[in-house]
Structure 1
Amino acid sequence: MAGSAEGFKEFATSCSGRLFRTAWLLTGDWHLAEDLVQETLGKVYRAWTKRSRPDDPVAYARTTLVRTFITHRRRRGSAERPSDALPDLPAGETDVALRVTLIDTLARLDAKDRAVLVLRYWEDRSVDETAAELGLSAGAVRSRSFRALDRLRAVLGTDGLTPTTQNEVS
C-alpha cells in the first residue's frame, strides 16, 4: 500500500541529515550536497507514493543519492566552478565606437550580405568556405562582399574601413 505524505515527512526529517552528510562527502561542496539531497528526496517521494513502496526506504534513498550524484557528474556543466580570478584581457585595444557603428551598419544590410561579411571578415573564412556554408558560388560571395563593403564605406565614410581598422574590428 502506498505511503502517506505525513509518513514521508517523518522519513525525510529523520534521514535527511545522514543523506546530507553522505552527499557532502561525495561532493565536498555544501550547496551541491543540499541540491543532491533535495533531488533525491523528490525521487524517493515519487516512489513513496506508489503502491509498491521500497522495503528499506533508507537504503533506497542512499542508492538514489549515489546514482543522482553520478548522473550529476556526467553532465557537461558539472565541472564548472566559480573562480575569484578573472580571465586575461584581450590582447589588443579596439575602438568601441567603431565596433558599435559597424554592428549597427551591418544590421541594415540584407541577411545574405551580412552573412557574407561576417563569415569572410569577422570569422576570417575563405571565399570557398563562405560559399559552401551559404550555398552560393565563389563569384557570388566575391560580388556580395564587394557591394556590401561599398555600402559599409558609404555609411562609415571613405576612410572608415582602412586596412588597420579592419584588423582592429575582426
Structure 2
Amino acid sequence: MIVNHEEFRAYVVSRGAALLRVANQLTGNPCDAEDLLQAALAKTYLAWDRIKDPSSLDSYVRRAMVNINISWWRRRKIEEYPSDELPDVVVQYDHRHRYDELEQALDRLPLRQRTAIVLRYYEDMSEPEIARTLGISVGTVKSSVSRGMAKLRGDLVVRAAAGEHVN
C-alpha cells in the first residue's frame, strides 16, 4: 500500500469541515460525529491507493460514514425504556436555537430518511447521486426524502401547537 500522505492530508484539511457536518447530521451528536468521521477517514486512508478518481473521494467517505453509522446503530444496546409516567419538562426557547431544533427534529427521523435528507439538502446531492451513494433506487430516495420532510414539518407543527416556540 503506497499512500501519498500529503495528498491525503490536503484532502482532509480541505473537506474535513464539510464531512464533519454530514457526520453530525448522521449521528445527531458532535462527539459521535467526530468518531464517525475519524473511522471513515481511516477506511479511506487504507483504500487511498485504490481510489482512482479524486472527484469520488467525498462519495467514498460519505458512503463509509453511512455504513459505519448503520453498523454502530445495529450494535447499540437499548439504553432507554418506556415508562407509564412522563416527567414534567420545562422548555425554554431562545430564538438563536432554531438550528438546534431542526437538528433535534432530524434526530427523530428514521435513519434512511435522515440520511437521504442530509445528503439532499446539506450536501446538495442529486437524487441519482444519493441513490448510488446509498445503494438504493432513485424512487426509494424520493420517497425517503418526501416522507422525511413531511415528518419534519409535522414535528415542528406539533411542537408549535404544544406551546413551544418554533419559527
**What TM-score does the superposition give when structure 2 sets the normalisation length?**
0.42
- Length-normalised TM-score, structure 1: 0.42
Query: Higher relative contact order at CA 8 Å, sep ≥6: structure 1 or structure 2?
Result: 2
